[in-house]
Chain A
């Protein structure tokens, strides 16, 4: 079936989000982060991904969700972008889900704020909603002009 798509799912503040599985490179845990002063608040730092230096963006911050509890270690979802790999920090990883086109719906008009532009749509699963994010827009932060 052409219309069936697979999504890598993960959790942020107990909500379920998904990214196209083809764009997710890998999942990494427990990477030491080097913070970058003066950067966009979403940038949590830099990680060393086998010799490659990768920017880590906190999805909670990016989606204007409440900050992660201090004792909770984030998980890196590394996505491929035009500018190389970028890591997205999430709370916990879920399964890879296959969904059908019938379950899809555009984001409701009442959805406002920072998250509005970053959400491609919603899949209505049996027990919950799966929010699909646009990786391209998520990694393109407004250019920091602090320097």
Chain B
């Protein structure tokens, strides 16, 4: 073994040990008398010191030595483990990390000076010695470098190396009684007492290679991740080759060959599972960092936090594990910084002073669920709403209409931050949207629950693995495409007769009613600009997909079957096409494109921007807004279809003879109760909102009716009459299913009395007209962009 190899091995092993030290020290803080953990911590420092001496790393040796000396006092029972000591030892861990990082990058220990830290640790040790000398005058404090070998000879250390399971059923960290004692913050140690908390939480040297076992056990070996990746790629190819053989073997009759194919099939499946397993790592590898993060942050914020972890054994793919590290850390920090209140506030609210923060990981339905729950004040939706409006993320009108859940989701928008001050830890406005983006990039989702005053739960769902995914194979325009099954909700097949009834059109936009919910339909061949091969009499295949919680129906020509595919990225020439997530080689050896469901939804304007994503919540069939039903005025505009206005917004219904309507320039008015009532033709106003130009005067000479139905609407002290076409009915209905509007001037679409109904945005129409009154033309500012 060459020198550099020894050094590498040393770095790797020490980094693993340091990760354990963090959690061990925090455990010790809570159970100061835990002899086993103490011995473990001692041993780690000791071996770092020993190897550092051997390698000639003077600084590292000195730092580790000071910690070891202090620990030997603790082990001997001459000193009790307290938070001050914990803080000092954790700083030693950080110092060692810093040194290791420097050694790794530059080969040398760097120029950082740790003499202040060493002095501090020595002071703590001396304090013990003087204390001891008071109580037991016979015993003298040992002179500086105590012979480490002799220290090692105590019975507890002769015991075989103990393996500390990285995955404990439950780790609790508790009681950080306020800031560290003032005595510790001596001027010489100031820089070390208040280190950059970010650096503590994300130590640069804490690299990816932690393996569960603390000892270099005989039963495990280290394998380069690159090799595992290659194994995985080859495995993918093997699975495809297997599929190919399975397919062509159907044509072969020879029994022996078929048996061999079957055996190959079984072995490949088993091999695949095993190879996948090599990449699986317990989530504890990431979670074990959190006790330290929580401790440091709680201390810095002056909060008391009891931290619990459950389900550390839950396994997921290494790549994914790396990907969720930062988002989860961010969520945990947020929970302490924004979630859990200060002890005084908690007391005044009748809660225990110590807040609870819980991280639970578990498998559920082929996914890993990680929940981060705090019992803090919960999210103040009023504040969120105000912030979002101030930051111009939503318009005040939209914000006023949002449900609690919708408002909660606003915090995922870019540029959102409610932190009143930018703390060291959070509140920089780059928080939750980054969390969401990172989780979604690996195919996961983030949900948020926050009952007022009862804390917050953030639930992330993460797929187990990315490498081989099941996909639905479909045909459109004569070509095969694969759709990742994670986006798939269900399949619907309509025969020609059903198609005629089932597909309704809303101003030219096709929709389908799925159990009472309106579903926008997207035709894949249209989106991909393929020649349509579907005949009018053909059955219609609708794939119900969800993009960003927003369900929509994708119409394809045929549905084949499901296949396991390995998604490969497209080359640069095809990077700009957002409707494809990649390509895959199918069982017959041909290439098929993999559809990006989100990209298709965006292209088809099923969802277009962040705002509609937030709104998308209300469109889910599951949770109708909490309305006990309302009374609606239904009318038929000239353009066709059915529209509704809540009756509460209607002052009166009037009918005017057509002859009484007078024209003032472009506008129509009618004398009404001694006033001049301006009239707005709803159909025209909608048209003008859409086109952006002033309302066209349409020739209405052909209209049969002699009278005009007008809804009188009061806005402030101004009355406005809306010409609504034909009034149909007044009904009391619960609006169970809503769907996003597809044109300006419409709030949303819902089913009322079994008919697709658009809800008129009266405010927008009136705004359009009132600016009309002021400026003579419709201002573009009044236009509402819904898509």
Chain A interface residues (CB < 8 Å from chain B):
32, 34-40, 43, 45-48, 51, 53-55, 57, 83-84, 86, 139-141, 143-147
- Given the known interface contacts A34-B479, A51-B240, the answer about A147 and B571 at a Cβ–Cβ threshold of 8 Å is no
Answer whether residue B784 sits at the interface, using C-beta atoms and an 8 A cutoff.
no
- Given the known interface contacts A39-B577, A40-B573, A145-B576, the answer about A34 and B528 at a Cβ–Cβ threshold of 8 Å is no
Whether A55 contacts B574 by the Cβ 8 Å rule is: yes
Which 10 residue pairs are nearest across A and B when measured between Cβ atoms?
A147-B578, A37-B528, A143-B576, A144-B576, A34-B591, A46-B591, A83-B572, A55-B571, A147-B577, A53-B583
Expressed in whole angstroms, the Cα–Cα distance for A48 and B584 within the complex equals 9
Answer whether residue B599 sits at the interface, using C-beta atoms and an 8 A cutoff.
yes
Instruction: For A145, list chain B residues within 8 Å (CB).
Output: 576
Expressed in whole angstroms, the Cα–Cα distance for A143 and B578 within the complex equals 11
Number of interface residues of B (CB under 8 A): 31
Answer whether residue B690 sits at the interface, using C-beta atoms and an 8 A cutoff.
no
Residue-wise, chain B 370-389 has the 8 Å CB interface mask toward A (1 for contact) of 00000000000000000000
Expressed in whole angstroms, the Cα–Cα distance for A46 and B577 within the complex equals 14
CB of B244, distance to nearest CB on chain A (Å): 11
Instruction: For A35, list chain B residues within 8 Å (CB).
Output: 479
Answer whether residue B568 sits at the interface, using C-beta atoms and an 8 A cutoff.
yes
Answer whether residue B592 sits at the interface, using C-beta atoms and an 8 A cutoff.
yes
Residue of B with least CB distance to A40: B573
Chain B interface residues (CB < 8 Å from chain A):
237, 240, 477, 479-480, 528-530, 568, 570-580, 583-585, 589-593, 599, 602-603
Whether B574 contacts A36 by the Cβ 8 Å rule is: yes
Residue of A with least CB distance to B585: A48
Instruction: For B592, list chain A residues within 8 Å (CB).
Output: 34
Whether B573 contacts A147 by the Cβ 8 Å rule is: no
Residue of B with least CB distance to A38: B577
Instruction: For B593, list chain A residues within 8 Å (CB).
Output: 34, 36, 46
Expressed in whole angstroms, the Cα–Cα distance for A53 and B594 within the complex equals 12
Instruction: For A34, list chain B residues within 8 Å (CB).
Output: 479-480, 583, 590-593
Majority secondary structure of chain B interface residues (helix, strand, loop or mixed): mixed
Q: Which of B568, B585, B590, B599 contacts A147 (CB 8 A)?
A: B599
Instruction: For B479, list chain A residues within 8 Å (CB).
Output: 34-35, 37
CB of A34, distance to nearest CB on chain B (Å): 4
- Given the known interface contacts A48-B585, A53-B583, A147-B579, the answer about A39 and B573 at a Cβ–Cβ threshold of 8 Å is yes
Residue of A with least CB distance to B572: A83
What are 17 contact pairs spanning A and B, CB under 8 A? A36-B577, A37-B530, A38-B529, A43-B574, A45-B591, A48-B585, A48-B590, A51-B237, A51-B240, A53-B571, A139-B573, A141-B573, A144-B573, A144-B574, A144-B575, A146-B576, A147-B602
Whether B577 contacts A146 by the Cβ 8 Å rule is: yes
Give how many A-B residue pairs fall within 8 Å (CB-CB). 81
CB of B409, distance to nearest CB on chain A (Å): 25
Q: By CB atoms of chain A within 10 A, which of B528, B572, B580, B589 has the most?
A: B572
Residue of A with least CB distance to B602: A147
Whether B237 contacts A36 by the Cβ 8 Å rule is: no
Instruction: For A40, list chain B residues within 8 Å (CB).
Output: 573
Q: Which of B240, B573, B578, B602 contacts A55 (CB 8 A)?
A: B573
Expressed in whole angstroms, the Cα–Cα distance for A45 and B584 within the complex equals 13
Expressed in whole angstroms, the Cα–Cα distance for A86 and B585 within the complex equals 17
Q: Which of B480, B574, B585 contacts A39 (CB 8 A)?
A: B574
Q: By CB atoms of chain A within 10 A, which of B529, B574, B580 has the most?
A: B574
CB of A127, distance to nearest CB on chain B (Å): 35
Instruction: For A48, list chain B residues within 8 Å (CB).
Output: 585, 589-591
Instruction: For B568, list chain A residues within 8 Å (CB).
Output: 53
Instruction: For A146, list chain B residues within 8 Å (CB).
Output: 576-577
- Given the known interface contacts A37-B529, A39-B577, A51-B240, the answer about A86 and B590 at a Cβ–Cβ threshold of 8 Å is no
Whether A83 contacts B571 by the Cβ 8 Å rule is: yes
Instruction: For B237, list chain A residues within 8 Å (CB).
Output: 51
CB of B728, distance to nearest CB on chain A (Å): 42
Residue of A with least CB distance to B592: A34
CB of B595, distance to nearest CB on chain A (Å): 11
Expressed in whole angstroms, the Cα–Cα distance for A145 and B573 within the complex equals 11
CB of A33, distance to nearest CB on chain B (Å): 8
Expressed in whole angstroms, the Cα–Cα distance for A82 and B530 within the complex equals 31
CB of A58, distance to nearest CB on chain B (Å): 12
Expressed in whole angstroms, the Cα–Cα distance for A45 and B572 within the complex equals 13
- Given the known interface contacts A36-B580, A53-B585, the answer about A140 and B599 at a Cβ–Cβ threshold of 8 Å is no
Instruction: For B599, list chain A residues within 8 Å (CB).
Output: 147
CB of A35, distance to nearest CB on chain B (Å): 6
Expressed in whole angstroms, the Cα–Cα distance for A94 and B568 within the complex equals 33
Expressed in whole angstroms, the Cα–Cα distance for A84 and B479 within the complex equals 25
Whether A43 contacts B590 by the Cβ 8 Å rule is: no
Expressed in whole angstroms, the Cα–Cα distance for A101 and B571 within the complex equals 35
Residue of B with least CB distance to A143: B576
Residue of B with least CB distance to A39: B574
Expressed in whole angstroms, the Cα–Cα distance for A38 and B66 within the complex equals 66
Expressed in whole angstroms, the Cα–Cα distance for A114 and B251 within the complex equals 49
CB of B574, distance to nearest CB on chain A (Å): 6
Expressed in whole angstroms, the Cα–Cα distance for A147 and B578 within the complex equals 4
Whether A147 contacts B591 by the Cβ 8 Å rule is: no
CB of A48, distance to nearest CB on chain B (Å): 5
Whether A147 contacts B576 by the Cβ 8 Å rule is: yes
Whether A38 contacts B573 by the Cβ 8 Å rule is: no
CB of A144, distance to nearest CB on chain B (Å): 4
Residue of A with least CB distance to B575: A143
Instruction: For B480, list chain A residues within 8 Å (CB).
Output: 34
CB of A62, distance to nearest CB on chain B (Å): 11
Q: A38-B579, A46-B591, A147-B577 are in contact. List 17 more A-B contacts (CB 8 A).
A: A34-B480, A36-B580, A38-B529, A43-B574, A51-B240, A53-B571, A53-B583, A54-B571, A55-B570, A57-B573, A83-B571, A86-B573, A141-B573, A144-B574, A145-B576, A146-B576, A147-B579
Expressed in whole angstroms, the Cα–Cα distance for A86 and B479 within the complex equals 22
Residue of B with least CB distance to A86: B571
CB of A139, distance to nearest CB on chain B (Å): 7
Expressed in whole angstroms, the Cα–Cα distance for A96 and B616 within the complex equals 60
